[in-house]
Amino acid sequence: MCGINGLIINNPVKEETLNSVLLKMNNLIIHRGPDEDGSYAEATPNYSVGLAMRRLSIIDLSTGKQPIYSEDKQKVLVFNGEIYNYQELRNELLEDGVSFKTKSDTEVILKLYEKYGVSSFSMLDGMFAFSIFDKELNRVFIARDFFGEKPLYYAPLEDRFVWASELKSIMGVLDEKPAISRTALNLFFRLTYIPAPHTIYSTVKKLEANHYLTIDCETLQYTITEIEHSFRTYDTRSKKEYGALVRDKVRESVVSRSISDVPLGTFLSGGVDSSIVSLCLAEATEANIDTFSIGFEKKSFDETDKSQLVAQLIGSNHHEFVISEKDLENNLDEIVINFDEPYADSSALATYVVANKTREHVKVALTGDGGDEVFGGYNKYYMGKLNRKYTSMVPRSMHSWLSNSASKLLRVKDDKRGKRFKANKLLQSIDYDGNFYHNIISLGFQEHELSALFKQDKLVENVLAYYKDQSETSVDSLTNFRATDRKISLEGDLLVKVDRTSMLTSLECRAPFLNKELWNLADQIPENYLLRGWDKKHILKEAFKDKFPKGFLDKSKKGFGVPVGDWLRGGLKEELTQYIATSFLEEQQIFAVDYVQKLVRDHIEGRIDNTFKVWSFYCFQKWYKAVYQKDQPLLMTK
């Protein structure tokens, strides 16, 4: 596990100058790889290239150093991530006469590229972002994994091309701060995060998951190509047979992701996914495994009783940590600012705390992340069918009246996110024009609210075009709904949260459910086996129900919720109030003063619970204050 950096300059530059820039970029992400670093710099007559990395040593501790070179020194690789099938791929290459100097997965990537070129990228099962400089071709190739577990940012500038695992490395070497992207601004306040290919900055992009960049070092021209996969086709089977297959594949994935030369454990929340992962790891390990969970002082958010039950069942060495508001106050600035751009998924706070505590015991943790996307575990997946039925039965004019009336009746004053909250969210998401999916995933402001939020109409942009560009042909089917979720919510929110918070603590997190072959299998399982009536992840629970107490896997799960709504009225109130000061807002020239002040005060004074909106506003302001100073006015571009 590492962080990578790189740059291409379209003219010869002294190697010491290149190394100085690479060192600066590396130092900004030292948390991603505190064990060691490495770099490569070369100036040719027409251009200069530099690659660098920080390493967190997990596999092949003694000989897995980077960069790694081909025998003829014509190809150089730096790599962030883990390749879970590298031993299988290595054995196949050995049978073909390929020799190795190390036992690392890094060298396997380079040897595969030497033999098969860019088509080798599809052979990799893992989480990764890597860059290969091919001197013979005068090109750099940068690839990102199937789900987008590992991040990759890039900035194609006039005289250089820069890339890195985190935005901070790129921002640290730019001559000036880029303008803020209007598209990203609107996406953030709709979604509470910014999905690929956008970043908050107009001139910096995210490489989309399952894609690779090809950069011509002489011209700096680049192309983006989707990685093509040849997936296995499964024969039609009975539900019982599919269940057995799911059980086998999940177990295989857990085992493949448990390969490590350092101690590892699991995050155990007590939900379906983390419980199954912990069970599979325990069954595959002779010694008792370590499990880690968090609880909350606010009991409505606490679910430690479930994780304790599973820990007892599998006989793990269980570690439990309780989060208080003090933990938030101690770590909030570091967590929020570390995302490098506005990000408002409040569960990141809890993820950071459990990662930080876990890192005191192990260096690697398996998680249950991705189980909902792979096997259909979210409420929104069956709500799409409700939307179709509702719109076919209720006239549009009547819905408008019902929605307005219900929003007042279902209005909540505190941050409980219970049935009233969910019912209101569903009603507000109902759409007669095929946009239900885009409404239901938007946890922040609805489209019509953005015109009230922003000070000027020119700041408002309808991001529906982005949603539809990322969507499959139709999100009516569960398969397409999940596929669109993989591109937007999984890549833009969940994986960003886990990567940044865990890497901030130098802990590697691995997600067995994020296995592209497991995804392929789920795509071929009949939808009514995944979502059976109101039973979500039905086939997954059926596959493992005999391993848990009766009914345990059917219990509802709150998720990694954090009571930030209460904290905004408590310990964060003073800082939040500063962000709605008329002078501060007028200086920004982004937000409508009266609207924002009322929105925040209604929440603080307990008239309406505006947790998601106010928390998004708070996180944006905290980021803005850290990045833009008074002598640098905000720029805004398309």
Catalytic residues, by residue number, are 2
DSSP string, 415-448: S---HHHHHHHHHHH--SSS-HHHHHT--S--HH
Q: What DSSP character marks residue 467? A: H
Q: Provide the token pair at 1.
A: 């596990």
Distance CA 510, CA 331 (A): 23
User: Which DSSP symbol is given to 175?
Assistant: S
3-state SS class at 290 = strand
Q: Are 444 and 616 in contact (CB under 8 A)?
A: yes
For residue 145, the one-letter residue type is D
Structure tokens at 521: 């299998």
CA dist 576 and 601 (Å) reads 10
CA distances from 360 to 30, 270, 357, 505 (A): 18, 21, 6, 10
DSSP letter string, 571-613: TTHHHHHHHT-HHHHHHHT-B-HHHHHHHHHHHHTTSS--HHH
User: Helices 516-524 and 478-485 sit at what angle, rounded to 10 degrees?
Assistant: 160
Q: Which residues are registered as beta bridge partners of 364?
A: 264, 508
Place of tokens 């139709």: 474
| Closest CA relative to residue 269, chosen from 558, 565, 506 | 558
User: What is the H or E stretch that residue 516 is in?
Assistant: helix 516-524
**Parallel, antiparallel, or unpaired: how do β-strands 180-181 and 636-637 relate?**
parallel
- Give the C-alpha separation, 570 to 561, whole Å: 17
Nearest residue to 529 via CA among 516, 543, 515, 544 = 543
CA distances 117 to 207, 307, 458, Å, are 20, 46, 46
Side-chain-facing half-sphere of 490: CA atoms under 13 Å: 29
Encode burial over 93-123: b for 16+ CB neighbours within 10 A, e otherwise.
Answer: beeeeeeeebbbbbbbbbbbbbeeebebbbb
Strand 2-9 versus strand 160-164 pairing type: antiparallel
Go through 599-615 and write b for each residue having 16 or more CB atoms within 10 A of its CB, e for each that does not. bbeebbeeebbbbbbbb
Burial of 454 by CB count in 10 Å (0-12 exposed, 13-18 middle, 19+ buried)? buried
Find all residues with CB under 8 Å of 253, minimum gap 6, and list them.
84, 512, 513, 515, 518
Identify whether 151 is preceded by a cis peptide bond (ω within 30 of 0): no
Q: State the Cα–Cα distance between residues 511 and 149, nearest whole angstrom.
A: 9
Q: In what order do the strands lie in the sheet with 75-83?
A: 68-69, 75-83, 126-134, 139-144, 211-216, 222-226
